[in-house]
């Protein structure tokens, strides 16, 4: 009995087959080898958005350390990779010439990269290796702001993420925006067009960034931010461009992960002030920095506190301390919780980590397809055939594609049905429980009963003459996904969070 190869193995085999066919091509071989290696590397997620959207701050929050430089400096104009390494290290890759290590300098905990006299546009990228746990299965890529005043800086990010002649270097994107702007939509469209190519798959999570500023720093700002994000989520254009929109106050999360005892002490003193004085002081950044007060905090310390927390963060912390938060640890926990970071990390886990294999597979298939198109040669028909077979057979890719299309405008499925299809296709996570909308501890018998019920119901939709072609196609895929749940939870098998759906009729168990 021939074992069915899993899609990842099939893609590796395809890449090797292509390397053999192109063995005397000095451009194709290194490219293919790079893709082969990339299959075993962590997923690459780029952080993109306009200038000052809060990219580097959010990246620090996700890593859980304050390493990426924020604000001014020439390094914000260079694409910077953060990958896992046992010892901290920075390597500069120039546009021309060999990579070379940079001295590691930290100022106030943060890295400072001196480009060693090179102009930012002579640097292809910086690669930072850092021993942070969160980087173990995720490589993060900080990119210069798009649509910036300097067209040249903006062009670097566009060229990096949406190259004309190759698949993107990133498998997925976290796209930050403070408001939805035409240039944001423009960027998301071009990323979808390259990343998705003809597979039409979505791999972008949009972040409503600097969420604490949405309500002008009022104490209910984060609640306002949530409703703005909700409105964006329902926006027909955005729906087809990103998987979802989440509000995150990156600064709050970053500061919480590095909260200092001295800061807590100052905040507690502010909380102890008499109400009128406290309110006067917290009225504006200017008042806070320069206003007269009985609290003995020097102006530099106040400026530092604003830079670390933002006015909203100070107001919130003071309110929390007044509400009974007693120590720095408890304050940090509460700030993190409210920042929205946990929701974002959860989404990264569900949408990106669990689908890492699929997203990487897609990138490699696109690369091979492009190679065949642009450097055709004799004897590659077989490679093209293997590629077609993988694309047609890989249910995971079909799921990715349908996730993008059932949420697109004009998909034609009634909203309720489309929501259910999205869930069953893994839009809320690939674990059987996530797909079926059941609690984590649901017994296997319940999972199976629910999956079976879905198979029957969606098969009826798939076969109904009333269903449009697109609906029928989606329904067939949903049936297949539910059958996957059944196969994965068959007797004696614990429900596995990573679900590989075997081909029907092939004994995968």
The residues binding Mg ion (CB under 5 A) are 55-56, 76
Residue 110 in contact with ligand GTP, rule: CB under 6 A: no
CA distance 469 to 465: 9
CA distance 404 to 362: 14
Binding mask 230-269 for ligand GTP (x = CB under 6 A): -------------------xxx------------------
Q: Which is nearer to Mg ion, 167 or 250 (CB)?
A: 250
Q: In whole angstroms, how close is the CB of 188 to Mg ion at the nearest point?
A: 19
Residue 460, H or E segment: helix 444-463
Binding window for ligand GTP (CB under 6 A); candidates: 49-57, 89-97, 233-241, 326-334: 49-57
Contacts of 486 (CB under 8 A, 6+ apart): 448, 451, 452, 455
CA distance 402 to 478: 9
Contacts of 151 (CB under 8 A, 6+ apart): none
Residue 8 in contact with ligand GTP, rule: CB under 6 A: no
Binder among 71, 230, 286, 327 for ligand GTP (CB under 6 A): 71
Q: What residue 471 binds from Mg ion, ligand GTP, none (CB within 5 to 8 A, per partner kind)?
A: none
Binder among 213, 235, 419, 473 for ligand GTP (CB under 6 A): 213
Q: Which is nearer to ligand GTP, 42 or 145 (CB)?
A: 145
Q: Which is nearer to Mg ion, 60 or 354 (CB)?
A: 60
**DSSP 8-class letter at 146:** B
Q: In whole angstroms, how close is the CB of 415 to ligand GTP at the nearest point?
A: 32
Q: What residue 249 binds from ligand GTP, Mg ion, none (CB within 5 to 8 A, per partner kind)?
A: ligand GTP
# residues near ligand GTP by CB under 6 A: 19
Q: What are the beta bridge partners of residue 48?
A: 175
Residue 145 in contact with ligand GTP, rule: CB under 6 A: yes
CA distance 328 to 44: 34
Backbone CA torsion sign across 60, 61, 66, 69: positive
Q: In whole angstroms, how close is the CB of 129 to Mg ion at the nearest point?
A: 19
Contacts of 205 (CB under 8 A, 6+ apart): 172, 173, 174, 175, 242, 243, 244, 245, 246, 344, 347, 348, 351, 352
Q: What residue 310 binds from Mg ion, ligand GTP, none (CB within 5 to 8 A, per partner kind)?
A: ligand GTP
CA distance 332 to 29: 49
Q: Which is nearer to ligand GTP, 341 or 447 (CB)?
A: 341
CA angle 387, 389, 390 (to 5 degrees): 65
Residue 51 in contact with ligand GTP, rule: CB under 6 A: yes
Binding window for ligand GTP (CB under 6 A); candidates: 45-53, 233-241, 377-385, 387-395: 45-53
Residue 52 in contact with ligand GTP, rule: CB under 6 A: yes
Q: Which is nearer to Mg ion, 76 or 351 (CB)?
A: 76
Binder among 12, 35, 38, 55 for ligand GTP (CB under 6 A): 55
Binding window for ligand GTP (CB under 6 A); candidates: 17-25, 164-172, 207-215, 267-275: 207-215
Count Cβ atoms below 10 Å from residue 148 Cβ, excluding itself.
Answer: 19
Q: In whole angstroms, how close is the CB of 53 to Mg ion at the nearest point?
A: 9
Three-state SS for 77? helix
Q: In whole angstroms, how close is the CB of 79 to Mg ion at the nearest point?
A: 11
Residue 457 in contact with ligand GTP, rule: CB under 6 A: no
Q: Which is nearer to ligand GTP, 132 or 344 (CB)?
A: 344
**78 — alpha (psi -120 to 50), left (phi > 0) or beta?**
beta
List alpha helices for 68-109, DSSP H.
none
Q: Which is nearer to ligand GTP, 318 or 402 (CB)?
A: 318
Q: What residue 110 binds from ligand GTP, Mg ion, none (CB within 5 to 8 A, per partner kind)?
A: none
Residue 125 in contact with ligand GTP, rule: CB under 6 A: no
CA angle 433, 438, 444 (to 5 degrees): 65
Residue 54 in contact with ligand GTP, rule: CB under 6 A: yes
Radius of gyration (C-alpha) of the chain in whole angstroms: 25
Residue 212 in contact with ligand GTP, rule: CB under 6 A: yes
Q: In whole angstroms, how close is the CB of 70 to Mg ion at the nearest point?
A: 6
Q: In whole angstroms, how close is the CB of 350 to ligand GTP at the nearest point?
A: 23
- Look-up of token digits 């720095």: 328
Residue 141 in contact with ligand GTP, rule: CB under 6 A: no
Q: What residue 251 binds from Mg ion, ligand GTP, none (CB within 5 to 8 A, per partner kind)?
A: ligand GTP
Q: In whole angstroms, how close is the CB of 56 to ligand GTP at the nearest point?
A: 3
Q: Which two tokens stand for residue 335?
A: 């700030």
- Look-up of token digits 């996530």: 434
CA distance 377 to 264: 67
CA distance 4 to 485: 18
Task: Give buried/exposed letters for 55-94 (b at 16+ CB in 10 A, else e).
Answer: bbbbbbbbbbbbbbbbeeeebbbbbbbbbbeeeeebebbe
First vs last C-alpha separation in the chain: 12
Phi and psi at residue 238, in whole multiples of 5°?
-65, -35
Residue 229 in contact with ligand GTP, rule: CB under 6 A: no
What does the binding site for ligand GTP look like in residue numbers (CB under 6 A)?
Answer: 49, 51-57, 70-71, 76, 145, 210, 212-213, 249-251, 310
């Amino acid at each position: 009995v021939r074992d069915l190869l899993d899609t990842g193995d099939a893609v590796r085999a395809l890449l090797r087959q292509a390397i053999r066919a192109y063995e005397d091509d000095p451009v194709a071989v290194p490219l293919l080898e790079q893709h082969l290696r990339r299959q075993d590397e962590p997923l690459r997620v780029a952080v993109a958005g306009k200038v000052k959207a809060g990219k580097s701050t959010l990246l620090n929050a996700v890593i859980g350390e304050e390493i990426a430089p924020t604000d001014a400096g020439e390094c914000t104009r260079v694409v910077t990779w953060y990958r896992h390494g046992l010892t901290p290290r920075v390597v500069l890759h120039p546009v021309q010439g060999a990579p070379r290590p940079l001295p590691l300098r930290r100022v106030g905990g943060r890295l400072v990269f001196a480009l060693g006299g090179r102009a930012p546009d002579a640097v292809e990228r910086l690669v930072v290796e850092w021993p942070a746990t969160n980087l173990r299965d995720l490589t993060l890529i900080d990119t210069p702001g798009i649509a910036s005043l300097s067209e040249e800086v903006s062009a670097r990010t566009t060229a990096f993420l949406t190259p004309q002649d190759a698949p993107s270097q990133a498998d997925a994107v976290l796209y930050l925006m403070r408001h939805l702007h035409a240039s944001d939509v423009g960027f998301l469209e071009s990323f979808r067009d390259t990343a998705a190519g003809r597979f039409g798959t979505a791999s972008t999570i949009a972040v409503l960034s600097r969420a604490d500023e949405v309500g002008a720093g009022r104490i209910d700002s984060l609640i306002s931010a949530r409703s703005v994000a909700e409105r964006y989520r329902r926006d027909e254009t955005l729906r087809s461009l990103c998987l979802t929109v989440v509000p995150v106050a990156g600064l709050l999360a970053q500061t919480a992960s590095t909260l200092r005892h001295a800061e807590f002490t100052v905040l507690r003193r502010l909380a102890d002030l008499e109400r009128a004085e406290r309110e006067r002081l917290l009225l504006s950044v200017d008042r806070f920095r320069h206003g007269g007060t009985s609290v003995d905090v020097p102006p530099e310390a106040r400026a530092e506190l604003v830079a670390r927390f933002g006015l909203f963060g100070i107001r919130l912390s003071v309110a929390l301390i007044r509400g009974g938060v007693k120590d720095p640890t408890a304050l940090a926990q509460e700030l993190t919780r409210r920042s929205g970071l946990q929701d974002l990390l959860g989404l990264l886990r569900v949408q990106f980590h669990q689908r890492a294999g699929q997203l990487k597979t897609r990138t490699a298939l696109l690369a091979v397809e492009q190679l065949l198109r642009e450097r055709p040669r004799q004897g590659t028909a077989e490679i093209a055939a293997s590629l077609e077979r993988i694309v047609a057979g890989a249910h995971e890719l079909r799921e990715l594609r349908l996730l993008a299309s059932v949420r697109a405008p004009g998909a034609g499925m009634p909203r309720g049905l489309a929501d259910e299809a999205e869930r069953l296709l893994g839009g809320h996570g690939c674990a059987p429980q996530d797909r079926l909308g059941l609690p984590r501890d649901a017994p296997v018998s319940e999972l199976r009963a629910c999956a079976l019920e879905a198979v029957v119901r969606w098969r009826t939709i798939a076969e109904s003459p009333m269903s449009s072609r697109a609906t029928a196609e989606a329904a067939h895929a949903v049936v297949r996904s539910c059958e996957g749940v059944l196969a994965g939870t068959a007797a004696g098998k614990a429900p596995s969070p990573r679900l590989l759906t075997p081909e029907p009729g092939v004994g995968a168990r």
